A and B are shown apart, each in its own frame.
Chain A
């Protein structure tokens, strides 16, 4: 074996009582794609932060190209040739794409914009260099993050769950990118939950559980089932098969909705029609940035329709277009948004206070005051039922890992026992064990008669969950496609707009 590019020995890191990493040994070979596998809270993100110099280890040593490595900061890491794309993005929303990149890459704006366009073409990471980041969807923001890293020409690139927001076509393209980067001499540390992906693209895999390493394997020698067992320490739960249903009452109906947002960079929605019935799961597929966030805000009531546009959105049979989010919730609507921190939860507040955010009508108040014992009981019930890994209900939401916070928010919304549940990206960043549990829970709720709407960029997830799927492309929605009569390729054609224009659109 050649000398490793990066080598860790006995790395440990604790946060108070929690041992995030214990005695980690890891070798990353040059020109390799190395997967780090593990459940939420297994310590993957912490390990990456140590490698990238965001945090310093409590114990252990590292060598880089044979020389001792002590990183004081990410800037230090970048100088050494280590780049990282985070799961939570670190972009300035008020700046444009090229301005964000200029913060770490020197050069004239026009040259950088050219470079961005070129990388976009080469690697399928198309993004408008002059667009403001706040107007970009989550998927597009991640593309910016990846491009920013690539522009510093790293020798080791760390990708924290990079594929989670990409459509299938782009995932393949990204893998092609990664292979090309590897062949060009860049090693890649690849964090993912998606076992098939790891098998498809990675040369080596290191598996973490509970902060410790449980194995170094060649992922191509093991099937997904094996890897999953190493990761969660037990067999993977099987998704519950969906049972057939009869047409229930309409819980959500949107009729011919047109909407032009105030934000000039946002997607204009045109002629949106959909129906979610009781006992049914409707999925909305599409590449991010095609109007999903605009549609979600219109359904949730965060965007309220102008008064003259009545009879466009109905919930439980009522015209709700002009009602705000709280009024829609009172009708029996619950919503899990795409962004967890700052939207689905207040980072600086405890989980108890975050329960209050939407669960306050279910008996957590007493004469206008917060009923602390009941709020605490509600929160602890949610933590227990949805397997939220946290030291306790008084922990700040911002301290939870992305997947655990998602479990908390999904749990909180389900515990409201809504008639209509709307989930955007239900399992983004959630490990496979928990993701399967969430999906199973959604299917069980559907079987009990809940109407559920799911927006997801993961096709497999939609096929596993949904009774029918509609595809959003450039603000337009396809007709509903019954899932069991539809093939993923057909959805894929709708996703890139090939179905409507009947011509090949470069994706």
Chain B
């Protein structure tokens, strides 16, 4: 054994008990860390970090017009993240919410595309329901293979997300292409009754945000108070205790995926029946992946996720602002998201462990 001066290196020591204060502190610290890191990066790129900071993190909150756009973006992120967090608590890793989101959009679009003349207030609710079912159906493919063949759910769900993107491409380039759309890969514009009603007049914020908030409440009730949620958490924390108590592991996987798929599908449906008004390729902007960050940044807790969804939505809008006003590249938002997740993972490590500076050891190792 070489005699490295190990005594001078700090050591990670597991905390006996992580206090609530430090748990609450971790996300804001991660945000601060990621912000500093990115501002440094912008400085290296020769941009004015103050201007970027202003455009990216303050502007979304400074005008009602941009804040309403934040709320609009928050809806799908909140929905998907709440669904995913339930599975993550059970240690069922649904990484393919993006695919379930796309399938939700496709299923919802089927109604206005096949029945373009239909009218009535039944259309948009049916689209949301159909979209949610579509997402759940896509998620159940992964659940089935995981339970049946023990196929890794991370890989299966992720690959199915790529498949879903191709299904969307096929539909938009083939059977569902708008005949009068100059060959653009997009569907017809939906009729008025296929649109989710606007919640706040003068903005694009629609009723789906309200639905997302209601489902957040339901998620809180499910995870903190219900026995079914408790069973999922036991399965995540101590799988052998779950087996001992007779909590069915396969059922936990199914529930996790169905809830995650349902929420992501609903978000997809609300996207085409909301701000877009048609099915197009650009619906897939990475909400399904960003929601993973949202779920973890919110501590996998339904209340925390509301805040982290708001933050992530502001980041999207702020990133768009910064592209225009501070001349940032398109990738800047993705880089920020990635560094945010990284900073959070570092912060969470310090929630569970504390750093200890050991005195230098007297002798060398035996």
Residues of A near any B CB (own CB < 8 A): 15, 70, 72-73, 75-76, 78-79, 106, 152, 300-302, 324-329, 335, 337, 339, 342-349, 353, 356-358, 360, 365, 368-370, 396, 399
Contacts and interface: CB of A to CB of B under 8 A. Distances in A.
A358 B227 CA distance: 12
15 contacts: A70-B359, A72-B358, A75-B365, A79-B361, A79-B362, A79-B363, A79-B366, A300-B244, A302-B244, A326-B247, A326-B248, A335-B244, A343-B238, A346-B237, A360-B227
Given A342-B238, A346-B237, 16 more contacts: A72-B361, A73-B11, A301-B246, A302-B243, A325-B244, A326-B246, A327-B246, A337-B244, A339-B240, A342-B241, A343-B238, A343-B243, A343-B244, A346-B241, A347-B237, A360-B227
A220 B228 CA distance: 56
A178 B134 CA distance: 67
B195 to A, nearest CB: 36
Interface in B204-245: 221, 225-228, 230, 233-234, 237-238, 240-241, 243-245
B148 interface: no
Given A325-B246, A326-B247, A353 B230 contact: yes
A299 to B, nearest CB: 12
A73 B233 CA distance: 33
A368 to B, nearest CB: 6
B1 interface: yes
Contact of B227 (A329, A344, A348, A356): A356
B241 A73 contact: no
Contacts of A302: 243-244
Nearest to A346: B238
Nearest to A55: B16
A73 B358 contact: yes
Nearest to A297: B243
B363 A370 contact: no
Q: Which of A342, A348, A357, A396 has the most CB atoms of chain B within a 10 A radius of its CB? A: A357
A126 B192 CA distance: 78
Contact of A343 (B11, B227, B241, B366): B241
Contacts of A370: 225-227, 230
Contacts of A369: 221, 225-227
Q: Which of A324, A329, A349, A369 has the most CB atoms of chain B within a 10 A radius of its CB? A: A369
Nearest to B13: A73
A320 to B, nearest CB: 12
B227 A365 contact: yes
Interface residues of B, number: 29
A361 B159 CA distance: 41
Interface string B124-158: 00000000000000000000000000000000000
B302 to A, nearest CB: 15
A56 B343 CA distance: 31
A360 B361 CA distance: 51
A358 B230 CA distance: 12
B228 to A, nearest CB: 7
Interface in B237-282: 237-238, 240-241, 243-248
Contacts of B226: 368-370
Given A358-B245, A368-B227, A369-B227, A349 B240 contact: no
A349 B228 contact: no
B23 to A, nearest CB: 13
Interface in B328-364: 358-359, 361-363
A399 B246 contact: no
B17 A396 contact: yes
Contacts of A349: 233-234, 237
Nearest to A347: B238
In order of increasing CB-CB distance, the 5 nearest A-B pairs are A326-B246, A325-B246, A346-B238, A343-B240, A357-B245
Contacts of B247: 326
A416 to B, nearest CB: 12
B225 A326 contact: no
A349 B231 CA distance: 12
A345 B244 CA distance: 9
Q: Which of B11, B240, B359 has the most CB atoms of chain A within a 10 A radius of its CB? A: B240
Nearest to B234: A346
Contacts of B246: 301, 324-329
Contact of B240 (A324, A342, A358): A342
Interface string B300-329: 000000000000000000000000000000
A399 B227 contact: no
A73 B247 CA distance: 39
B358 A357 contact: no
A226 B28 CA distance: 59
Q: Which of B244, B247, B365 has the most CB atoms of chain A within a 10 A radius of its CB? A: B244
Contacts of A106: 1
B241 A399 contact: no
B358 A345 contact: no
Q: Which of B226, B238, B240, B243 has the most CB atoms of chain A within a 10 A radius of its CB? A: B238
A80 B230 CA distance: 46
Q: Which of B11, B361, B363 has the most CB atoms of chain A within a 10 A radius of its CB? A: B361
A341 to B, nearest CB: 8
